Structure 1
Amino acid sequence: MDSAMMTNKFAQGNDGYAKGMSPSRDPLIQNYSNFKRSSEPKRVMFYDKGSWADYPEAVVEAIKLGFSEGKPMIEARIEGLDCFLDFYRMLEIELGSGNHRSISWIDVDGKCFFPKAFINSCDDYEPDFHHGYGDNSKIEIEIKLSKLASSESLKNVDLNEMERVSKRKKEEQAEMDQPEQEESSSNVKVKRRRSVGEKELQSPRWPRTRVLRVEEEGYALVKNLFLTGLKSVEPAAEVTVINQCVRTGPLDVARHQVFMKQMEVTKQARGASNMVLAWYGTSAKDVESILMHGIGIPAMESRSEGHGLGIHLSPLRSPKNSALLAETDENGEKHVILCKVILGKCEKIDAGSRQDHPSSVEYDTGVDDLTSPQWYTVWYANMNTHIIPECVVSYRPANVPGSVTDVSCVNWVPPSHLIAKLLNKMRSSLPVPKFQELQSLCGLCKEGKLGKNVFMQQLRSVIGDDLLRSTVREIRGL
């Protein structure tokens, strides 16, 4: 194929996957911006069969050289084939056949650069588009957690950890048996080593998990994303530990295989699996049960005001919604599970709906709002094929006025007639998504799951101070 034919075929392919994107932002412009903003790549990947895989080290080195010289495109030999890497379009093009697939990278500063659409012309399914449910943070967390939980590392983690623990204990016991010496620089090093060892020896609280250490990839990203999304309701919260799920046993491996197969089935049926990361808040007892046996149907009283009868999870950027449903344990901690969720094609479900399955074969899951969802609903029939836990974030809400653990604020239930009047007044004053958010908020409050100060803070956020003030006057007849 000569260069003119290849260019023409590539242009046709590019036009094909550009359909459906926002006309206000050409993907070429966005990808060009990615190249100009990026530092030298540290990790480079290609899109294959619905997931991202790493390029061989030799290819990565060639790409780094291209970046250092400011070249927007380079030629490289990949898997025995001559290829053309276009960083402006974020594509790898095989020169012989014209087949092309998306490329992405993470630079030395830890920034992620992904194309607007994920494509591979060799795959049988259509391009995987972003539909507003995910973002680069989701992709970055997924990649980093997947890298940590790679099958090779999981095969060796238990034996290696046991060997390290045994060796460390012997060293520490030998140090303790030695007589006390003056505070020398060598003793300072021993103390530092011992303190690090104690952190590494922290045992996981949950079955089938491992403690994600502070210095590991993924820890800071998950922690910062969680606390940022939580600060509007629990600004002084502190993450105490993050436990990452490991899948070494036959049942865990089987559950993961079922989830991956469901992704393939959904992708074939819908054109994209629409897999996202989402939060699920519950009690410590239920966290343990979920990790051992899978997700179960929650208690009846906790689903009265949800968007349909199913498992309700909140988007990656909104952990506060699920955190408000989590229960404080005997240690004063709350626990929220970060899950992978297959959404497929979503339909809108109103707050308080008793719907318990898709309204037609066209849909897979539900959302409270199609453009900016705050809740995802996975039907009970699909909860253990469409949801799989990735890690458990444990945190301690500070005991400050307005926080969920403030003793003066818990178990507060406002009079039902006031809630009814408030909803009636707001029905015509708020946009539908805001009104649905208000319904959910009032439902949580009626169940005694929100403190008074937290409820008022959230109420002001949803309604706004001016409208809330005038509505309260109307209700009071002033």
Structure 2
Amino acid sequence: MNQIGAENQTSITIDDAMSESNELDSCYNCFQHFVTNGFSKIDESSFEGDIIKTSFFSSLSRNPQISYRTKIVAIHKNSNTSQCWKIRAHSFGVYAKAVADTRGGDANIKYAWYGASKNEICETVMYGFSWRKHSISVSPAKHGLDSVLCSGVDGSGVRHLLLCRVILGKQEVVREDSSDQFHPSSMDFDSAVDDISSPTRYIIWNTHLNYNILPCYILSFEAPPYLSGLTEPKTIKPKTWITFGTLISILSPFLDHSQRASLEEQYTNYLEKKITRPQMIQRVRAIAGNQLLSAVVKLYTNKLAAATGVMQQAARLMMQPDCWEQFIVR
């Protein structure tokens, strides 16, 4: 009996839930939003589109199953001619020259992927990267899998990545758990990486945002529903346990009919042992969204309220973007 009880529990905790904007309040077509904000759709078969497409699939090559089942839906190019974007582009050029002058003539400019939820991608296209974060992580062009894992599924089952030009300058190594660092350790450095010789992550500090990272393209794609073959975040011993049944009952009011039906179907598959616990966790994440899970599990963990109170508190939390900073796993 104890074994059965343990099997019916999930280790979704704040440490497991990566910060990601939920899609419940999305009510506009993202492609139209991209176009309205100066991004024009390009033909995938064009020379430009083919280069981006080839680069993207090459970055997924370390997992052929994911690459084979991934389909590009659209590619949009930054064609914005507004005064704001002209200033941003000019600032990027000025900063690149300044870094090059300081670093022996090389600003170390690279292309990099940035994955996020549809809401965050849309906000970035309109306003730039959020200054609320002390840094953002982008993936080298050949390591797109990591950014794909950070992207969020919208209501149409589509994910979005930004392909950006990034001024890296001189880099220093920063450990993944260095959450207390908010800027370069000294004036000798401009950005950070997880590994100097073979980086899989570039770190851009908020002191440099929006003038050393310039969004150039938006790649929209469909990936396998649960990204089961992707590299997962490091396993951390859960701080608390919550049964799938309880979790689903708390999540249900925030989900639409199709999401609830999908969640219940996956739960049935889990109970019938057609899928494993890790697979069930991934499917809950894919359906509900990690930001909603973060709110629900945080409140559940602290026992702030019973189920109804948790839902009300979670709804209020999701209206306050700033509160998510303390939950983000860096």
Report if TM-score (shorter chain) is over 0.5.
yes
In the aligned structure 2, how far is the partner of 1:243 from the partner of 1:321? 21
Residue 416 (structure 1) aligned with residue 250 (structure 2): no
> Which residue is equivalent to 1:398?
224
Q: Which amino acid aligns with 1:281?
A: G
Secondary structure, aligned partner of 2:211? coil
In the aligned structure 1, how far is the partner of 2:226 from the partner of 2:122? 28
Q: In structure 2, which of residues 75, 78, 82 is the aligned counterpart of residue 249 of structure 1?
A: 82
In the aligned structure 2, how far is the partner of 1:276 from the partner of 1:454? 37
Give matches, 1:130-209, under 5 Å. 204-206=32-34, 207-209=37-39
Secondary structure, aligned partner of 1:218? helix
Shift of 1:204: 4.8
Q: Which has the larger radius of gyration?
A: 1
Give matches, 1:211-250, under 5 Å. 211-231=41-61, 232=63, 234-235=66-67, 236-250=69-83
Residue 322 (structure 1) aligned with residue 155 (structure 2): no
Residue 210 (structure 1) aligned with residue 210 (structure 2): no
Shift of 1:205: 4.5
Secondary structure, aligned partner of 1:388? strand
> Which residue is equivalent to 2:287?
none
Secondary structure, aligned partner of 1:285? helix
Change (3 A) 1:401 1:218: closer
Secondary structure, aligned partner of 1:390? strand
> Which residue is equivalent to 2:158?
333
Q: Is the 8 A contact 2:149 2:227 kept in 1?
A: no
Shift of 1:228: 2.5
Q: Which amino acid aligns with 1:385?
A: Y
Shift of 1:351: 1.2
In the aligned structure 2, how far is the partner of 1:343 from the partner of 1:379? 11
Q: Is the 8 A contact 2:66 2:227 kept in 1?
A: no
Residue 355 (structure 1) aligned with residue 187 (structure 2): no
Shift of 1:297: 3.9
- Moved segments of 4+, more than 6 Å: none
Q: Deviations over 1:153-190 (max 9, x none)?
A: xxxxxxxxxxxxxxxxxxxxxxxxxxxxxxxxxxxxxx
Q: Which amino acid aligns with 2:192?
A: G
Change (3 A) 1:455 1:378: farther
Shift of 1:333: 0.7
Q: Is the 8 A contact 1:208 1:292 kept in 2?
A: no
Secondary structure, aligned partner of 2:97? helix
Q: Which amino acid aligns with 2:172?
A: E
In the aligned structure 1, how far is the partner of 2:194 from the partner of 2:236? 24
Change (3 A) 1:455 1:338: farther
Q: Which amino acid aligns with 1:324?
A: L
Change (3 A) 1:370 1:403: closer
In the aligned structure 2, how far is the partner of 1:454 from the partner of 1:373? 31
Q: In structure 1, which of residues 232, 251, 276 is the aligned counterpart of residue 110 of structure 2?
A: 276
Q: Which amino acid aligns with 2:138?
A: L
> Which residue is equivalent to 1:452?
278
TM-score by length of 1: 0.40
In the aligned structure 2, how far is the partner of 1:317 from the partner of 1:455? 28
Q: Which amino acid aligns with 2:186?
A: S
> Which residue is equivalent to 1:425?
none
Residue 286 (structure 1) aligned with residue 116 (structure 2): no
> Which residue is equivalent to 1:378?
204
> Which residue is equivalent to 2:327?
none
> Which residue is equivalent to 1:147?
none
Shift of 1:227: 1.9
Give the number of the structure with larger relative contact order, counting CA–CA contacts within 8 Å between residues 6 or more apart: 2
Q: How much is the aligned-residue C-alpha RMSD, in angstroms? A: 2.8
Change (3 A) 1:400 1:249: closer
In the aligned structure 2, how far is the partner of 1:215 from the partner of 1:367? 34
Q: Is the 8 A contact 2:38 2:78 kept in 1?
A: yes
Percent identical residues: 25
In the aligned structure 2, how far is the partner of 1:454 from the partner of 1:322? 22
Q: Which amino acid aligns with 1:219?
A: G
Q: Deviations over 1:226-272 (max 9, x none)?
A: 12222517231111000111131111111100000000100001121
Q: Which amino acid aligns with 1:220?
A: D
Change (3 A) 1:357 1:238: same
Change (3 A) 1:401 1:326: closer
Q: Is the 8 A contact 1:266 1:273 kept in 2?
A: yes
In the aligned structure 2, how far is the partner of 1:318 from the partner of 1:400? 19
Q: Gaps (5+ residues) in structure 1?
A: 1-202, 300-308, 405-409, 418-450, 457-478
